[in-house]
Structure formats: structure tokens, C-alpha cells
Structure 1
Amino acid sequence: MDYMKVSEIRKKFLDYFKSKEHFVDKSYSLVPENDKSLLLINAGMAPLKNYFMGIETPPSKRMATCQKCMRTGDIENVGKTARHATFFEMLGNFSFGDYFKKEAIEWAWEFTTKELGLNEEELWVTVYEEDDEAFEIWENHIKVPKEKIVRLGKDDNFWEIGTGTGPCGPCSEIYIDRGKGFGCDDPNCKPGCDCDRFLEFWNLVFTQFDKDESGNYNLLPNPNIDTGMGLERIACIMQGVESIFDIDTMKNLINKVAQMSNQEYGKDNKKDISMRVIADHARAVTFLISDGVIPSNEGRGYVIRRLIRRAIRHGKLLGMEDMFLWKLVDTVVENYKDAYEELTEKQEYIEKILKIEEEKFEETLDQGITILNGYIERYKNENKMILNGDEAFKLYDTYGFPLELTLEILIENGMTVDEEGFKNAMKSQRERARAARNEKGVEGWKNDMSGLELSVQTTIFNGYDTLYENTQINDIIKDSSLVNEINEGEDAILVFEKTPFYAESGGQVGDRGYIKGNNFEAIVEDVKKSPNGLFMHNIRMTSGTLKKGDKAELLVDKTLRGATQRNHTATHLLHKALKEVVGEHINQAGSLVNENRLRFDFNHFEGVTAEQIKEIEKIVNRVIYEGHRVNVETMSIEEAKQIGAVALFGEKYDSVVRVVSVEGYSTELCGGTHVQNSSDIGMFKILSESGIASGVRRIEAITGENVYKYLLEKEELLTEVKSTLKCNEDMVVPKINQIIDEHKEAIKALSKLKSESAMSRLDDMIKNAQEIKGIKYISDTFENIEDEILRKTAEQIINKVENSVVLFSNIIDAEKVSFVCMVSGLAQAQGVHAGNLIKEVAKITGGGGGGRPNMAQAGGKDSSKVPNAMDESVNILASQIK
């Protein structure tokens, strides 16, 4: 067995299965596509579920991948054990109804013994206890001695979906014997024993059954193969090390952390744990950001924020005071760029995101740790070991401490936290960072029409070249069932072998238009794609009867398509202009293109300035006016990348792609429809720029005739403004400023009058004060007075009357009331509390509020109950006085 680097093992695996006629696909994104059952991809087969379920057709019946995966369920063990990591790579070969057990076992053994050179004498295998077929293949075909083939039960060697129903099957695993030094004292020790002697490194799953609701295991007509071999685990074997943190890629990261922190790895166990945590988390967050995940307080964003903050905290334990995490991105990229070239392309962006997040957390980290240490000291002095949930929430809410980080620090001090109390304090449980399966979502792989026997399997789209097609109606779907005909007034879905109608995808909406036949007419309201690529035409019958097999004319609405095309090509120009003006890190995070406007979402951590918006508009319009040809070519994905075509995050690309180029300006992979020349767009105008999520901005814009309509509307508005102000266009702004100034002066004068009016009542209010148990009680009701004036008036009374309580109500309208209360020092000493008093009074009017003992404010909702509230205030006050 020769030493092999991680990169060498990865390449050798993929090359081997390529030689076995497997389609070698690149790793899918860590963010699942069209799969709500997962937060993040956590297994090699996860992105291929639709292929296994038969919902989508795979690019080949044989596939092999090295898949990026994330699991954070055991995050507290990362750095402490030899095998726990958040990010890992899973090698896998898959068969979708093609080869089965014999080939899967044969190739796994051949790769293990011949390609990797592992010693057959050290290898053991396990099979499911009832799988005689697999046992026979291992013994008689592969020639593994039967004493080294171990039968294990269902818990160990049978794979089922979490729900308990659906595809499932027995497993067979390959183990390596690490020697007696890792084992127990049992002379019969073998795979299945709890000791560390036998290490499993490759799992072969034979998906041959479909388990029904009654618990029956029905044979699948086309059984599948799903294998998984952890790249880091096999690297440990090939490099002769015990821990995944000692393999070449992780060792390089740990050495960098040691250098940056001026520590020596291997000298101090606690510091070693911190270095391993930082190395693991740096790798994980680099890949997450590369796949479009950005820090936030929910979902995937919470996973990455938690990892970043956990790493920063361990940096503090190593004495690293300056920002450091972003500096490790370069080492991650250097180790993985050969397999994941997108890391190099996005390195600058990844570093920028990490810098911003580190800066945010640095502002509060030290303060939060000081407060938590104070809690720990106080609790230990009081012999308490469970931190109050409210205090844990304060750390989260004020200092950005994830509950897990608080818990981790507490555990290090022999304490824990009241997690239920924490959740109650938050009032709603936030989605926890668990890279785990949402069991209820598994059935989401299927859809309402997946079981229909349609007469066509794929749709040919010819709408790039024509807006008309004369064809035959192949299938009619109504209420998720196949029917033979539909009548006037009914809605349905039509399927054709060929269509000029564009189906919604890539942010572009589906075409609308008409379908006509000899005996019917229908409106096409929308077109969508099924998971398997069929174009589903949503129609409404306007006249006649439509039957399966009828001839039909398909006509796309030319005006709507043209407007949509203008907006789509404009998004390409906008994307490029954003990169030029704002920065190359800008990447599309979503879009919507219809006939009315375009919406473009992109990753960026601050608002685009007004000056930048002007510059972007100027650039896009310049390209429009210059009249650049728009070229469309099909080529391999590799060729497209060589010419610099921009691929969009979240989009799935085949090996042959469509490249849209605005000649001399932008080049993107795109399946949408576009204008033939940039001048066809006419004009471009940005309507708004806003933030829609943490680190995601949105621009909305219009083109063509919609810009003309927009300008007409603005012109009409300006005409109306001029008429109202009775001035010329050049005097509109000065006139408005004059009115604003006059309005401010009028407000100031009115406020003064109101204040003087309130003050003029001051002596009368004091004179008419009620005496309640020795305290002067002054109350009054006002209408539409600023609360600030009422506070000043109440303050004047308190200063004049030594032992007093003041309560004012202020009726704003029928459904809005405000209250102001002030209490002198002597009255407070007798038990009067302004906050408690005003709270009870406000309740009577359907409101609430509170405040300090000396001053409080409240609001109410029913002004008709103010007299009752003010009368009752006397009794409430009396009940407080000691």
C-alpha cells in the first residue's frame, strides 16, 4: 500500500469508475435543489434521490461522484474525536436499474485491492444476515474466506428511509483490520464488535425492495446500487494515520492555525482541540459560502454563523485577538482547488463575507464572554449548576451568542443551561442548525402526476426559433388524472411532443398565448416543467370541445414574449454592470423576468449607493444604444467556462450548455429567450434597490415600452405638482422647500401654543387637586397634545407640589389614547409606583404600558372609556399607598 494524498485518492476513484462506463458528475451544491427534506446535503446519494425514485431521468444509468457533505448533529465532538467533522467528502458509485450486487461487489473489491493496494489479508466484509446472495458472491466469486464474511442484523446492515416506507435494501460493508493493538480481549473479535480494531470504510447498499404501508417488502422491478466511501476515512488508511485531522489536507490547515496563533500542535490537548475545531470550521464555511450560503439567524445561515462564531471563540482560547478566520480561506482553496475550481473563482467573495461576519462578532464577543464568566462565578458561589434561560437568551439577543456556544462554555465549567427556558424567552423556537432529514418531507420526492402513464416522455422546445407550431394533443390532465376530452369553461394541462411555448425556468416566466383547433379554442395561462422535463401547458377552454389526438395550432403571444425577452437580456447586462461598479464578488441569488419588469437578487452586504445606481443605469443603457449583437451557442460546459461564461448559483447544467453572449460585453450560461440585438431592449430604468435578507439585495427595473410609460406617469405627476404649487418646473424644488420650512415653523408655533395652553391650566389643576391619604393627586384629560408637552407640564407640577402624583390622559382619536404619569419622591416612599399605576389605568381602555417608579407612559385603544379609567385611577392610587 502506497501513501496517497486526498486529491490522488479522489482522482483515482473517479477515473476507475469512468473506466467502468460511469458518468462522472461533479459534486452537487451543499444546498439541496428542490428538496425541502434537507437543510444541507448530508450524503453522497442525497442529490440523486429523484433519480432513485424515478421522478427524474439520470444522465446515465451509471454514475460516480465525489460529493461535498455537511453534518452538524455531533458538532460538540468535532476536534475531540478522531473521526468527527462537519464537512466531508463522500465517494460513491451508483446504478439506476443497471448493474447490481455482483458488479458492485466486484468493482469495490478490485478498486480496494488493486487500485489502492490494500492487503487482502487485512480486509473483512459484512452482509445482511438474510442476504445469501451477497454472501455467495463474496465467498465464491471474490474468494473471500467465509470466516471473514460476517452476517449482521437489520440495525447494522439494512438501509431504510427514515419514514419506514419506500425504497430500501440490505447492505454490505468492507472493513480493515487495524490489528490487535486496537482491539479488545475477545479472541473472537470481528466486525460488529464495539472496539476500534475493525474500521468500516465502504458501504454498498443494494436497494432491491419497496416497503409498503403494511410493512411488506416488495421486490423492485429495477433494483439500484448506492455506495458510499468517506474520502477522509480512506485517506486515514492510505496515509497510515489514526485521525482525519492528520491527513494531508487537514494537517495543512492545522499547521496554518498553529503558525497564526504561535502555538505548537501536539503539546497541549486543549489547544490541539481548538486548532482542530478552527481547521474543520474554516474548511466548512469556505465551502458553504462558495455554494451561496451566507450568515443569518435562520436555517442554513444559522449553521454557518454558528460555525464562524464557534471558530472565533476557539481562536480566542489560543490567544488570537485579531481577525483570523478569513486568512485560512487561502489554505482551503489551495488544498481543494483542483477538484473544486469554483473556490478559486469565489475566493475574494468568501474572504469578504468572513471579514464582515468576524467584524460583527468581534464587537460583542469579549463583552459577552465577560458577562458569561460573571454568571458562571455567581452560580458556582450559589451552588447552582443550571444557567437561567433568560440569561442565556440575553447572551444570544444582546451579544450574538448562539445557545450552543453558551452551552459549550458552560459544559467546560461543569454546568449546563435551561434550554426550555431559553426557548420560552425567545417566544418562538428558531430553526436549529441540524443537517438532518425532515422525515415528513421525504414523500415530497413524488408529485401528484408522477404515476400517470403519459404518451410522451420528453418535450421538444422549438420556441427559440418560432412562436407557432401545428401539432397533435398527446395528453390531457385534469385534476391530476388523465382524461380524453375537456369542454368550454374547464381548466386542464396539455402535453405535446413539440411546443413553441417557453416553460418557466431560470427566473423567466412561462409563455402565454392560444391553442386553436377545428372545434375548440383555449387560452394558455402558464407553462411549467415537470421534474422529468415535460412542458405542462396550463390552459382554460374558451369554446368548444378538445379531445386527445386532436390537431392544434399553438400560438405564443408575441407581444408578451418580446417584452419578457427584453427584460431577460437586460438582467444579463445588469449582472455584468453590477460586477463592474460594485465588485466582482457580486453573484446572482435569484431573479424573476416577466413582461412587466425584471427582478434581480444578488449577494452583497450593503446597499448600493445612489451614485452606483446611476453608473449602473448609464453602463446598461450605453450597451443598449451601442447595438451589440446577442449570440447564442451550444457547447460543452468545459468550453463555456474556458470562454468565461458566468454560471448561476442554484442552476443545474447538463454537459452541453447554452451560452448567451451580448457581443463584446457579457457571457452567461442561460436557457432563456433573448432579443437579437441589445438595441432591441430600447431603454433600461432601475425602479428600486433594497435588502431582502441578510447579505442579499434586490434590484427591480423596467425596459422598453414600460420605461416610456414610466416617464409619461412621471411627467403627469410633475404637471400635477406644478399646477398644485402654481409654479414653473424649475421652481418646484425651491417651492417645496419653502412649504416645508413654513410647515415646520407652523408646527413649532402650534406646539408652543399647546404648551402655553397646558401650562395655563397648571394652577387650576393644582388648586383642584384631590387629597388621597395625604398625597395630592392631580389628574386631567387633554385632546391631541404632544406627550412631550404633557411630560413637561407634569414635571412642573411635581416640582411645585412636594408630595404629589400626576396622571394625564390624552385622547388622540376614537381608537387611540395616551397616558403620562409622574410621582414625587415622597409619594414613592409611601408605595406609589408610576409604572404600576399607569398599567392598571391603561388596561381599562384596552391598552397597556409601564415604566419607572417616578415616570411612566402607556397607551389605550378605546377613548370612550377614558372617563371611567380616570375615575377608577383614584381607587388604584389609593390601593398603592401604604
Structure 2
Amino acid sequence: MKTAEIAQRYLDYFEKNGHTIVPSASLVTDDPALLFTVAGMVPFIPYLSGDVPAPYARAADNQKCIRTNDIEEVGKTPRHGTFFQMLGNWSFGDYFKEGAIRYAWELLTSAEEDGGLGFDPKDLWVTVYEEDDEAHDLWLRLTDLPEERIQRLGKDTNYWSTGLPGPAGPCSEIFFDRGPAYGIDGGPATDDDRYVEIWNLVFMQYEITDVRSKYDFTIVGELPNKNIDTGMGLERIAFLKQGVDNMYETDQVRPVLDIAVSLSGKTYGENHEDDVRFRVVADHVRSSLMLMSDGVTPSNEGRGYILRRLMRRVIRAMRLLGVDGPTFADLFAASRDAMKEAYPVVASDYDRISQYALAEEATFLRTLAAGSENLDASIAATKAAGGDRIGGAEAFLLHDTYGFPIDLTMEIVEEAGLSVDRDAFDTLMQEQRARAKADARSRKRQLADTSVYRDLRAKGETVFTGYTELETESTILGILADGVSVPRAAEGQIVEVILAETALYAESGGQVADKGTIVGPGYALEVLDVQRPVPGLVSHTVEVTSGEVGVDQPATSLVDAVNRRAAQQAHSATHLVHAALRDTLGKTATQAGSLNRAGYLRFDFSWGQALSDATKSEVEEIANNAVRDNLEVTTRVLSLDEAKAAGAMALFGEKYGDMVRMVDIGGPWSRELCGGIHVTRSAEIGLVSLIGESSVGASNRRVEALVGLDAFRELAAERAIVSQLTTSLKTPKDQLAVRIAELAASLKTAEKRIAQFEAKALEGRLPELAASVSAVGAYRVVAQSIGTAASGDDVRSLALQVRERVGAGAVVALGAEVAGRPVVIVVTDETARGAGAKAGALAKTAAAALGGGGGGRDDVAQGGGTDVAALPAALVAVTSALETAAA
């Protein structure tokens, strides 16, 4: 039974039993506590917690999920995958334990010809929370399970919570027994791979707070409604129904594994370590494909970092399988073909996805080459010193700076006959992970508890009138101070205010929040920010500037019209720039993010190389031609499917409802899904002036522009500068570039000649410095300050020449002021080094006196600092150190 068929049987069954079928949400969640949709329940959290009224009493879905906390287990067990699909059925105050158990058992054990999944009851086991007698008794009454195959387990396995304040409750899990060939007898309590968990039924009935750990918290009471949250792992059902040993061999994953086998020339099933690598490749390629189909792009932070890590683990695994060259073109195409039946977007958007994938692969292959050079140098240095082990710090530097995997480092080092101090490396990694976990815990603690908005949201959605109004009369529904509902707020307080209607735009879709005020009888509020803390609710962060404001009072929201107009110009200009980029670069130049505020726009788009000056000029001209043509700007509200059929572009990773707002500028030329606020005709934008273009990742570029009056002021300022230059240089403006280039070349020539004169002047001091030698034990020491120098290289060159003049036992320390900072260069000859004089140690001694740092090789080293006046003391410190060594 194919994976897609299993999913469809599931959805058909629950639709037949009165459930609304809900499409999968994006892998990119808008939950601030999460990077990704890590579980099937994530999109339903507002309904489960009661923050937002559920639009249906019961639902079912097949939710895409990404989870990387068990990434090291991928390939080693039959069930761990970073991307997985979670089948779920949900009840929001409708049926509870009895209904959930009845539905699960019927679907699992009904014959395939009757639409069921055809599992034999004798292969199924069940666990319940040890204190949940009700669930235990329902399993006995509703099914033919014998008592011995219903096991009671503790809170660590059979009590569900997110680890944050909110909903929680006991759960019951269904397991499939793969048979004695796969492990020991004894049921799920043995925690053996023989028993595969296939379905978890969560009986969500409590609200918890004071969460000390995932299993240590305080239950404050029952939820307003008892809910059902279930999750059945689609990949786990698939590998059981397809008769294979693990999820990596199912129909949606195995094709990638087979391509990896073909590229490597190795055989799957012969070597455990290679098999794990094949499975890692198959899993991570699919996960990367699905993340990119939801708009995630490789980067060094957040979601992009996770994607980059997955892709680089693929490259590492292929390299360990003996493939050093590029493989993504073949691997990603295989995953596309395996997944497109279930997710057509991976095929329709494959040009963009493959562009990111191939660029990331090329970048990391270059990174591996650079890391290999550094590792080769470390190996050579270790052997030259007679060592047999690469330090853990060096291995960690390769990992942390170059992204060089530790197992690849160990493989190369072992081939060279050396080893790696793995304990030291692991210690450094643990310290880094501890810092990261501490940061994550800190961020999690700072997240607001959205349950405070539940009662306010229950009063209905906030009506936004700002598309057509700059002033709206309403009523204050609630006031929050430090996250707590309060009846009133006095002058000077900063609080959150919830209105029934508002004309003020809440930050979203790249557009920043409106500025403005809220006024009412006897009070005035300055609006500092406007946000949507939960779906459908707008919160205004305000400062009470006069009077006292209370709940249920009349309130009028007033938008700052000048700021709003400039923000509208910027947002509409962003759409023009997007369309101009697609006209110039092609349809793969799609939006990857934006920021619009009054007079300014920033637009990120998928592209792998810098734009030429000619291309930037062309984009700017196309955008301004659209302004000149005074194109009509229209908006329509229609279904998501209708908008997509009309060719509207959506921002990847943005969450859209069933009904969307489509913005056209000039008809289909610029057609995007957008909830922002726009001008009515393009001429109102005024002017678009590109001011910057830069890289924001291996496959992303960013353009910045000023808009309207801000663009005019910038161009006027540049005109004034040009006017001043033409007057000062007595050069026509069309010849300024040539004239400035000539002046720059002349200045460079002059600087070079000055440097030559200074170098000759320093060389002229060579006899004097060599004659200043003094004996310190076995050393012949020159420790002198030479005044100022053009560069540290000049000082180093002079020190080396003095060393040659002094002869055997030479230790030369020369101090100088370079670009306003003190520098000390120390050089030694072989005789002096044999007697214990090490240039690196002496440079550190000098640097300590200068208030800085230093070091280097035993023969040549450099120290520096901030205190030029301390140069004499630094040279005395070098001499004193030599006297101590000679004593």
C-alpha cells in the first residue's frame, strides 16, 4: 500500500465520520516558540488552548512536520526521520476518550477492502497513563485486546504537554509488534525496537502552569473544553504496510537511497555504517526538498541554518561513501519524483528549489576544500613535531569555522596515521551546546503566555478598517499591563489595548505597524506598536499620554496620515521592484522576504550572484516607468485556489487562510497575495531609487531602495555633492569620474614613493642598530625603539637584517609606532633558540607591557597594544626576560 494511499484512506475514513478535512499547514510555523511545525498539533494550538474558537467541532489532517532533535539517530533506527507526516484527528469539545479509541481501533483493524488499514489485532499493543483507569477500561470494553496487552506506563511516556504553560493531558499509545525476529518479548514497556509506536491518542483536558520540566508542572484546572489530539505516523504505517524494515525503504524515500547507492558504487545491506549513511542521505534530501518547497533557504541562522545543516550532512555522508563530487542534481530530482504525487508543489517549484540546492552544494564543496587545506597543514605540523594526535581545539575550529564534520576529520587524520583528541573535541561541543540550550531556554522564558488573550479573542475578531479609513470609532474591549488584564490605566503607563475595531495596521507581511493615536473621553494614547498576538486579535501597545483609560470606554483610533501615505508608497514600490526583477532576471527571482516602512523598502529575492550595475539600472528604470505609467492598483478578496489560478504570487512561508487578498498593479504584470496597504495608482509612489544591493546567503540577494520624498531628498543631496566636486576640482560633472580616478592614482603613486623613502631611511639605521648589541648571558641582544614606521612588515624586515649583522645568539626586539599604535617585532636565530629564547614568548611579554596581545613562531613574532608611551618599558621587559632565562 503506497504512502499516499494510506493517507487518503485515513482522511476518507474520518471525513465519513463527520470530520472536516484540513489541509496541511506550512512547515514554517508562526508560533514564536518554534522554528518549524514539529508536531501535528502545532497548527491547532490556538483551538486546543481555547485562545481562538475552533471553526469546526472535529477535524482530520495529514500535517507535514520537521523535527531535528533526534538527528543523530537518523538512519540508525527504523523510525527516526527529520521530515515526517503526521495523520491526526481532532475533537474540540466534541467526542472524547471513547470516541478517539473507537475510531482508532476501527480504522486500524478494519479490512483493506472495507477502507481500513487491515492490521491484525493480535499484533497490536496499547499503553495508557498509569493513573488513567478510564482509558484502560475503555480499551477492554471497546476492543478485543486482552488485559496483558494493555500496559500502564508513567508520566514520562504517557502524559502529554508541550513543556510550556498551556494544554496537557494523559495519552494512550498504540504499538505494532514486529515479532521475535526484531527483539525481546514483553510489550512496549521494554522500550525495544520490536514494538513500533504507530498512533498516540492525547486526551487533552487540563491546563498546566509553573512548568519546571516537561513532566513536572502544576495542573491549574480543566480546559474550557475537553479535546482530542491524535497523531499517527504516516511513515511508520507505510513501512509496516509495505513489508520493509524501516521508513527509509518506503516508496517516498527509497528512490533517493537507490540513487545514492548508484552514485557510490556500493551495495545497500552489506555494511552497517554505509547503510546508515545511505539512509541519512535519503532522509535529509527529502527534508531539504520539503523545507525549500515551503520557502526556507539555506543561511547561517534560524530555519535556514537547520536546512543548511541537513544539506551539509548529505554532502558529508556522500563523501564518506566515496563520492567527492556534486550529487544534488540527481538526489533532489529523485526525491521530487517520489514526493510530487502527494505534494505537487515540489515539481511546479522545482526550478527555484534546485537553484538553491545546487548553489548550497557548490558552496559547501568549496568549504570542504578550504577545510581540507587547513587540516592537511595541521597533520603536517603534528608529524613534523613528532606528535601522533591532532588537538581537540583544532578539530573543533575546523567544525565551527569551516563546518568541517568531525567524522570526516577523524577519517582523514586516521588515514595519515594520526588520531584526534576526541574527548577534548566533545568537551568543546558540549560547552557550545550548553550555551545554545541556555540561550534557547532564555528566549523561551521571554515568550508571552498567549492564554491571557483567550477571553478577549472569544469576543470576536478585531475588525480592521484601515484599508478605507484613517479614523475609526470603537470600544475598548480589554487592557493588559505586564501580561495581566486590568480594568484601567493611568497617565504615564505603557499597556496593551484591545479594540473591537481599529484603523491602525498591525505589523505583518513585511510592512511595519502604523503610527498614530487612540483617543476617547478624557484620555489620549500614543500608539507605540500594533501586533497580532493570536490569530484574529489586534493588540495596540500604547503609552497613556493624558488622562485615564478604562475597559468599555469609547475609543477612536487615528492613523498618522503622513506616515501611512509614505508606508503605502514603500509597500507598492516593493511590488514594482519584485515585478521588475522578474522581468529582468526571470521567473526564478522570487521573493524571500521584505521590509516596508515609510520612505524605505528592503527586498530579498532568490538569486545566486551579484547584480551588475547595468542590471540594477534596468530594474530601477522598469520600476520608475511603472510609476510614470500611473498603473491602476486594485485589490480583490477571493479564495486561495482562485488566486493561485489567476497567477498570484505568494510569499513562501507566509500563512494564508481560505480567503486571501490579491493586489494587482497594472493587471497581471504585478499580481501578489498581500494583506498590506497600497496606493490607488502607481504614480502616487513618486520615485524609486535603489541605494544598495548585497548578499544575504549563498542563494539570496537583497536590494534596498528609498521611495517618494525620501528618494528625492537622497538624489538632491547627491546632486549637491556633485556640484561641490565640480567646483572644487574645476571639472565638468560628466568628467568627474575620470578626474577622481586620476587623483586616486596619483595619490597611490605618492604613497608608494613615500613608503620607499621611509624604508630606505630605516635601512640607513641598520649599522647603528647592529652596533647597539649587548651581551645577556649566551644571547646577543638588540632592543631598540626606531620611532615611527609605515608598516609592521618594514619593522620585521629591518629586524631580520639586524639579526644577520649581529651573528650567532642574536635576539632582536625592535619597537615602533605604526598607524598610531605600538608594535614590537622579535626575531631570534637558531643559536638563541637552542639556548631557550623563543620569539613568540618574548613578543607576548612585550605585548603585556603595551596593554595588548601577541605571539607567533619561535623565530619571528609580533606583539602590539594601545599604549605607545609604553614601548620603552616593553623593550626593557624583553631584556629582563632574557636575563632571567640566562641566569
1:279 Cα deviation after fit: 1.8
The correspondence for 2:686, drawn from 678, 682, 685, is 682
The correspondence for 1:781, drawn from 781, 785, 800, is 785
- Closer, same or farther in 2 for the Cα pair 1:49/1:443, shift >3 Å? farther
Gaps of 5+ in 1: none
Query: Aligned partners of 1:104 and 1:385: how far apart in 2?
Result: 62
Which residue pairs with 1:26 in the alignment?
23
Query: Aligned partners of 1:153 and 1:94: how far apart in 2?
Result: 24
SS at match of 1:565: helix
Which residue pairs with 1:806 in the alignment?
812
Which residue pairs with 1:871 in the alignment?
876
Which residue pairs with 2:214 in the alignment?
none
Query: Aligned partners of 1:584 and 1:224: how far apart in 2?
Result: 45
Query: Aligned partners of 1:490 and 1:378: how far apart in 2?
Result: 64
Which residue pairs with 2:213 in the alignment?
none
Which residue pairs with 2:168 in the alignment?
168
Query: Aligned partners of 1:311 and 1:408: how far apart in 2?
Result: 17
* Contact 1:570–1:684, Cα closer than 8 Å, also in 2: yes
SS at match of 2:101: helix
What aligned pairs does 1:276-355 form with structure 2 within 5 A after superposition?
276-296=279-299, 300-355=303-358
SS at match of 1:249: coil
Which residue pairs with 1:90 in the alignment?
86
* Contact 1:646–1:668, Cα closer than 8 Å, also in 2: yes
SS at match of 1:248: coil
* Contact 1:165–1:215, Cα closer than 8 Å, also in 2: no
Query: Aligned partners of 1:748 and 1:377: how far apart in 2?
Result: 38
Report sequence identity in percent: 37
Amino acid of the structure 2 residue aligned with 1:171: C
What aligned pairs does 1:272-671 form with structure 2 within 5 A after superposition?
272-296=275-299, 300-363=303-366, 365=368, 388-396=391-399, 400-403=403-406, 406=409, 421-422=424-425, 429=432, 441=444, 444=447, 446-447=449-450, 449-450=452-453, 456-486=459-489, 489-517=492-520, 519-662=522-665, 663-671=667-675
- Closer, same or farther in 2 for the Cα pair 1:88/1:554, shift >3 Å? closer
Query: Aligned partners of 1:593 and 1:719: how far apart in 2?
Result: 32
* Contact 1:601–1:698, Cα closer than 8 Å, also in 2: yes
Matched, 1:707 2:704: no
Amino acid of the structure 2 residue aligned with 1:323: P
Query: Aligned partners of 1:419 and 1:16: how far apart in 2?
Result: 53
* Contact 2:47–2:53, Cα closer than 8 Å, also in 1: yes
Amino acid of the structure 2 residue aligned with 1:585: T
1:552 Cα deviation after fit: 4.1
1:460 Cα deviation after fit: 0.8
* Contact 2:592–2:606, Cα closer than 8 Å, also in 1: yes
* Contact 1:781–1:808, Cα closer than 8 Å, also in 2: yes
* Contact 1:300–1:433, Cα closer than 8 Å, also in 2: no
RMSD: 3.9
1:665 Cα deviation after fit: 0.8
- Closer, same or farther in 2 for the Cα pair 1:441/1:17, shift >3 Å? farther
Deviates more, 1:863-872 or 1:395-404: 395-404
- Closer, same or farther in 2 for the Cα pair 1:307/1:574, shift >3 Å? same
* Contact 1:23–1:59, Cα closer than 8 Å, also in 2: no
Which residue pairs with 2:838 in the alignment?
833
* Contact 2:634–2:680, Cα closer than 8 Å, also in 1: yes
1:441 Cα deviation after fit: 2.7
- Closer, same or farther in 2 for the Cα pair 1:872/1:51, shift >3 Å? same
- Closer, same or farther in 2 for the Cα pair 1:412/1:100, shift >3 Å? farther
1:455 Cα deviation after fit: 8.8
Amino acid of the structure 2 residue aligned with 1:678: S
- Closer, same or farther in 2 for the Cα pair 1:692/1:866, shift >3 Å? same
The correspondence for 2:801, drawn from 796, 804, 816, is 796
Measured against aligned partners, the alpha-carbon deviations of 1:3-60 in whole angstroms (never above 9, x if no partner) come to: x211111122223323334333332333342333x45433222343343223344443
- Closer, same or farther in 2 for the Cα pair 1:621/1:342, shift >3 Å? same
* Contact 1:173–1:202, Cα closer than 8 Å, also in 2: yes
The correspondence for 1:856, drawn from 858, 861, 879, is 861
Query: Aligned partners of 2:485 and 2:322: how far apart in 1?
Result: 68
Amino acid of the structure 2 residue aligned with 1:682: G
* Contact 1:57–1:532, Cα closer than 8 Å, also in 2: no
* Contact 1:162–1:439, Cα closer than 8 Å, also in 2: no
What aligned pairs does 1:57-136 form with structure 2 within 5 A after superposition?
57-114=53-110, 115-119=115-119, 121-122=121-122, 123-136=124-137
SS at match of 1:701: strand
* Contact 1:578–1:586, Cα closer than 8 Å, also in 2: yes
* Contact 1:170–1:205, Cα closer than 8 Å, also in 2: yes
Amino acid of the structure 2 residue aligned with 1:150: I
* Contact 1:423–1:429, Cα closer than 8 Å, also in 2: no
1:227 Cα deviation after fit: 0.6
Amino acid of the structure 2 residue aligned with 1:118: G
SS at match of 1:584: coil
- Closer, same or farther in 2 for the Cα pair 1:398/1:369, shift >3 Å? same
Amino acid of the structure 1 residue aligned with 2:534: P
SS at match of 1:339: coil
Amino acid of the structure 1 residue aligned with 2:152: L
* Contact 1:628–1:664, Cα closer than 8 Å, also in 2: no
Amino acid of the structure 2 residue aligned with 1:28: A
Which residue pairs with 2:201 in the alignment?
204
Amino acid of the structure 2 residue aligned with 1:132: D
| TM norm structure 2 | 0.88
Matched, 1:224 2:227: yes
Q: How many residues align?
A: 870
* Contact 1:171–1:206, Cα closer than 8 Å, also in 2: yes
Query: Aligned partners of 2:389 and 2:811: how far apart in 1?
Result: 43
Matched, 1:238 2:241: yes
Query: Aligned partners of 2:668 and 2:81: how far apart in 1?
Result: 46
1:374 Cα deviation after fit: 12
SS at match of 1:688: strand
Matched, 1:138 2:143: no
Query: Aligned partners of 2:608 and 2:392: how far apart in 1?
Result: 32
- Closer, same or farther in 2 for the Cα pair 1:497/1:408, shift >3 Å? farther
Deviates more, 1:361-370 or 1:754-763: 361-370
Measured against aligned partners, the alpha-carbon deviations of 1:477-514 in whole angstroms (never above 9, x if no partner) come to: 44545455555555443332222221111111122234
- Closer, same or farther in 2 for the Cα pair 1:238/1:879, shift >3 Å? same
Gaps of 5+ in 2: 211-216
